[in-house]
């Protein structure tokens, strides 16, 4: 279904990839855009620690139209991206997720997702008024994860203690 990583020695353990998804702040969501062009857009997200990622959006637009047409998506979270000019390289660590997106219909599920997003991005602030004000114009995209793949630069991999 999905390709195996060519440089498999640089693959992150699944648990570490999930930790990156949990602590990440933004990602780039890629969908099947218009006229056979991919469409990639930076978004805020929240990962439930299991098998779903939630993204808020306007109820209409390129991203929504694309998901309705083709629910297959991918997203990328960059955990580290340190350019090292003297070595002509980048010390990177990132995670890519492949999954299927759907627009949530159930109001209680949407509110729960919005509260989870609020807890991540506005901790300690009650989001009730904001949720009530924007509920009719906000969409929640639920991504069911098919595959998580994390990778890091070989230089970072070599700095680690041996993995088991």
Identify the domain containing residue 16 by its residue range: 8-150
Which pLDDT belongs to residue 8?
64
pLDDT at residue number 78: 93
> Does residue 55 surpass a pLDDT of 70?
yes
Query: 3-class secondary structure for 72-123?
Result: EEEEEEEEEEEEEHHHCEEEEEEEEEEEEEEECCCHHHHHHHHHHHHHHHCC
Q: Could you tell me if residue 131 is inside a domain? A: yes
Q: Summarize the confidence of residues 111-123 as an average pLDDT.
A: 96
Report the number of distinct structural domains present in the chain: 1
CATH code: domain of residue 20 = 2.30.110.10
**164 pLDDT above the threshold of 70:** no
- Mean residue pLDDT across the chain: 90
Q: Inform me whether the pLDDT recorded for 112 exceeds 60.
A: yes
Span of 39-43, 132-136, 158-162 with lowest mean pLDDT? 158-162
Candidates 38, 45, 110; CA nearest to 70 is 38
* 145-162: average pLDDT: 81
Residue 156 lies in a domain: no
- pLDDT computed for residue 1 by the predictor: 58
Question: What pLDDT sits at residue 161?
Answer: 59
What proportion of the chain, given as a percentage, has pLDDT over 90?
74
Task: Please give the pLDDT value at position 82.
Answer: 80
Q: Which residues of 68-98 are buried (b: 16+ CB within 10 A; e: fewer)?
A: eeebebbbbbebeeeeeeeeeeebbbbbbbb
Q: Residue 104 domain-assigned?
A: yes
1 within some domain: no
Domain assignment of residue 16, yes or no: yes
- Per-residue pLDDT at 84: 84
Instruction: Please write the tens of the pLDDT for every residue from 11-47.
Output: 788 999 999 999 999 999 999 999 999 999 999 999 9
């Amino acid at each position: 279904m999905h390709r195996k990583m060519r440089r498999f020695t640089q693959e992150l353990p699944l648990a570490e990839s999930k930790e990156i998804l949990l602590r990440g702040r933004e990602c780039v969501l890629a969908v099947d855009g218009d006229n056979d062009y991919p469409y990639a857009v930076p978004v805020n997200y929240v990962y439930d620690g299991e098998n779903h990622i939630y993204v808020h959006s306007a109820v209409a637009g390129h991203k929504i139209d694309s998901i309705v047409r083709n629910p297959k998506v991918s997203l990328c979270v960059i955990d580290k991206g340190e350019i090292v000019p003297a070595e002509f390289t980048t010390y990177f660590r990132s995670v890519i997720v492949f999954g299927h997106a759907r627009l949530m219909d159930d109001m209680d599920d949407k509110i729960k997702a919005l509260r989870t997003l609020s807890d991540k991005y506005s901790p300690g602030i009650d989001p009730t008024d904001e949720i009530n004000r924007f509920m009719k114009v906000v969409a929640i995209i639920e991504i069911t994860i098919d595959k998580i793949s994390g990778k890091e630069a070989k230089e970072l991999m070599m700095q680690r203690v041996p993995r088991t």
